[in-house]
């Protein structure tokens, strides 16, 4: 049995991998989170890795508090960059495979078309910069690793845009939602399935891949779809990002081109609204 170490197992993606783990009896999953596998402590990373001796590492852990990272740069860098450098080195030395999850925030959002894997990164936030540094360290220290960049992740688990919108639509009569930031949502359950499909394929093609659900929408469009599916009456108004200033700058356009993962692994991304309906139905149950 392949021993699969999953870090960040209590987050959105890690939780969805847990949900699917039973479908893969040939994989022995070890799910860890910050309490038992802290990524901000190098020596503990090494000790835990050497104790577990994984065949594969799926790194779902990250410092994802985008605005807080602007002030807490040291912690963000420790988790998003330095820890990945350590994990990648350990995987390389032990010949373990590594799948590392990254983000659309490595781009500046000025492209007129969907970003491809080899487009030049130019992060505009500490979060994006630390995630890019993590990518660079990952590929340097473990050239055989796979990096999957994703965007706008949501799930039944954890905190995310969908759950926040549902709460606010219940509490308020009016909402303003940014309408000039464009991308595509990613249902964490779909991304989890993609990762496990890659692992189960017996085909390992290292490098960077992009994955999200299909669609090109704004946060306002996303909110309107949530409203429609949930049958909410809250009035939603589109507003420019300039009306909702945040400590960290977000990419204005961060659509990801998924041609590579489709071609190499035969992945067929689901339309975002189809997945949104599934997630909301599960949440209601």
Cβ-Cβ contacts under 8 Å for 137 (sequence gap 6 or more) = 81, 82, 84, 85, 88
3-state class (DSSP) for residue 30: strand
48 near 94, Cβ under 8 Å? no
Which has the closest alpha carbon to 282: 211, 195, 187?
187
Known catalytic residue at 127? yes
Measured CA to CA, the distance from residue 23 to residue 36 in angstroms comes to 25
Cβ-Cβ contacts under 8 Å for 285 (sequence gap 6 or more) = none
Cα 156–chain centre separation: 14
Cα 36–chain centre separation: 21
Q: Within the chain, where are the H helices? A: 12-20, 42-52, 73-77, 83-94, 126-141, 161-171, 188-200, 219-230, 259-265, 272-284
H or E element: which one contains 237? strand 235-239
From the candidates 127, 187, 209, 253, give the one annotated as an active-site residue.
Answer: 127
CA distances from 150 to 108, 195, 250 (A): 15, 12, 14
Active site members? 127
């Amino acid at each position: 049995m392949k021993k699969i170490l999953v870090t960040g197992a209590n987050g959105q993606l890690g939780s969805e991998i847990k949900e699917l783990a039973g479908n893969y009896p040939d994989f022995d999953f070890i799910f860890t989170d910050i309490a038992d596998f802290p990524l901000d402590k190098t020596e503990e990373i090494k000790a835990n890795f050497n104790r577990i001796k994984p065949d594969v590492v799926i790194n779902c852990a990250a410092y994802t508090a985008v605005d807080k990272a602007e002030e807490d740069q040291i912690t963000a860098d420790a988790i998003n960059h330095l820890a990945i450098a350590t994990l990648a080195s350990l995987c390389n030395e032990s010949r373990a495979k590594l799948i590392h999850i990254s983000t659309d925030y490595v781009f500046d959002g000025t492209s007129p078309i969907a970003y491809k894997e080899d487009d030049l990164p130019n992060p505009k936030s500490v979060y994006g910069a630390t995630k890019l540094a993590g990518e660079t360290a990952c590929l340097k220290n473990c050239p055989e690793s796979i990096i999957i960049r994703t965007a706008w992740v949501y799930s039944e688990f954890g905190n995310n845009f969908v759950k926040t919108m549902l709460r606010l639509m219940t509490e308020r009569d009016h909402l303003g939602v940014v309408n000039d930031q464009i991308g595509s949502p990613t249902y964490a359950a779909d991304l989890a399935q993609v990762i496990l499909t890659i692992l189960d394929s017996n085909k390992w093609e290292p490098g960077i891949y992009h994955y999200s659900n299909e669609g090109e929408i704004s946060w306002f469009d996303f909110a309107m779809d949530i409203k429609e599916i949930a049958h909410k009456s809250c009035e939603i108004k589109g507003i420019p990002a300039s009306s909702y200033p945040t400590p960290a700058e977000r990419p204005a356009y961060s659509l990801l081109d998924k041609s590579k993962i489709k071609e190499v692994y035969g992945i067929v991304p689901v339309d975002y609204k189809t997945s949104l309906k599934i997630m909301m139905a599960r949440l209601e149950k």
